[in-house]
Amino acid sequence: MTAIASDASRAPLAGLRILDLTRLLPGPLATQHLADYGAEVIKIEDTGAGDYARTLGAMGGENSYLYQIVNRNKKSLRLDLKQEAGKALLRRLVAKADGLVEGFRPGVMDKLGVGYEALAEINPRLVFCSISGYGQTGPYALRAGHDINYIGYAGVLDQIGTAGGPPAVPNLQIGDLLGGTMAAVTGILVALLEARTTGRGRLVDVSMTDAAFAHAIFPLIEVLAHGGVRPRGEDLLTGGVPCYGVYQTADGRYMAVGALEEKFWQMTCDALGRPDLKPLHLATGEAGARARAEVQAVFRTRTQAEWVAVFDGVDCCVTPVLQLEESLRNPQLRARGMVRDVGGVTQFGPPVRLAGFEPAMPRPAPASAGDDGDEVLAALGLDATEIAGLRDAGVI
């Protein structure tokens, strides 16, 4: 196993082996989070197109940037699971693995003969995580979908946007990342903890729609309190009150005002030179609209940089809306180690800091599918002749 921490014995997930059969974004990022904290992740791609994220979007050399920033710290093996020899190799890997993550449509792994029930017979401790759009059960289980569909069903997309406008499609994939990535990480770790105490693993069924739906907290509060959600852009957190929202500056940029607490709103009004607006903290309706218009008029008198200079000295939750290239230079994010260079490609650092653990320089994503195949198979006990034969047969 390749150590990825300066002191491998202190890596929280050291000794954990995860088989990653996923593609594109949600699954690969979930297993990358595990790899960042010390797990050995073996990325298994088919012998054809493999993970088609390799060629999706802007290219950063041989592989796309998308592929490179969600597959670091992994080993790579190619397997043809349509051949019995390929399935046999997967079973041998499973016997020594702690977890397996897949993102095919429900039933695909079972049809291949390597579903949870079959693999649990080989390794009862195996945690088998299936990531799908709608889950393994229910009337939509076999439907195709993407993030926009999942958050649409979950009632989340309807709430994003400005008053009077259509739903706004976010460039942060809420269903894919909150659902397919973070819910998967949570489910995997919960099941792994149980497996270590009971000796039994589980099937972890992750639905991206379920996860997005389960976090629609404020819309649910509105439904419980009033029988339905407020119109888009008119509730507490989407522009319905003057103390919480975005305001345009003189140069066409924006400031984010998050002065929900009364004390912060009073400080904001003083900094804006409009103490008369203090009573309108949580004003709604026509009064709220007038107050928002007054605040907007003030913000348009200066540039974003000028307002940053004003509010950097006032601790009242008023901050600039940065573009990502600016965020990459942000001193707070850099101080936290959130911007890293991995093989010449700028990437995000691990999002959770753990005391006493400092990840070493990450290993770049495997340049080609199967780069680590010989190493992985040799660890299973195959010799060079056997590996060469599998390669000639197109199994690896």
Catalytic residues: 146, 176
Calpha distance 99→74 (Å, rounded): 14
Give rounded-to-5 percent helix, strand, coil for the chain.
Answer: 40, 15, 45
Contact predicate 128/155, CB 8 Å: no
Do 22 and 130 reside in the same domain of the chain? yes
Structural domain includes residue 46:
yes
Select from 293, 320, 347 the last residue of a domain: 320
Do 151 and 175 reside in the same domain of the chain? yes
Which CATH number covers residue 314? 3.30.1540.10
Do 265 and 351 reside in the same domain of the chain? no
Select from 278, 293, 320 the last residue of a domain: 320
Select from 270, 293, 320 the last residue of a domain: 320
Q: How many CA atoms lie within 13 A of 41 on its CB side?
A: 31
What are the tokens at 205?
């069924």
Do 136 and 200 reside in the same domain of the chain? yes
Do 111 and 179 reside in the same domain of the chain? yes
Structural domain includes residue 105:
yes
Structural domain includes residue 239:
no
What residue type is 288 in one-letter code?
Answer: G
Provide the domain limits for residue 308: 244-248+254-320
Structural domain includes residue 42:
yes
| Count of structural domains within the chain | 2
Do 311 and 344 reside in the same domain of the chain? no
DSSP 3-state assignment of 175? helix
Structural domain includes residue 295:
yes
Calpha distance 127→242 (Å, rounded): 48
Sheet strands (E) in the chain? 17-20, 40-45, 74-78, 99-102, 127-132, 203-207, 244-248, 254-258, 318-320, 339-342, 345-348
| pLDDT values of the chain reduced to their tens digit, one per residue, 396 residues | 333 444 544 799 999 999 999 999 999 999 999 999 999 999 999 999 899 999 999 999 999 999 999 999 999 999 999 999 999 999 999 999 999 999 999 999 999 999 999 999 999 999 999 999 999 999 999 999 999 999 999 999 999 999 999 999 999 999 999 999 999 999 999 999 999 999 999 999 999 999 999 999 999 999 999 999 999 999 899 999 999 999 999 999 999 999 999 999 999 999 999 999 999 999 999 999 999 999 999 999 999 999 999 999 999 999 999 999 999 999 999 999 999 999 999 999 999 999 999 888 899 999 999 999 999 999 999 999 999 999 999 999
Q: Tell me the DSSP string of 319-338.
A: EE---HHHHTT-HHHHHTT-
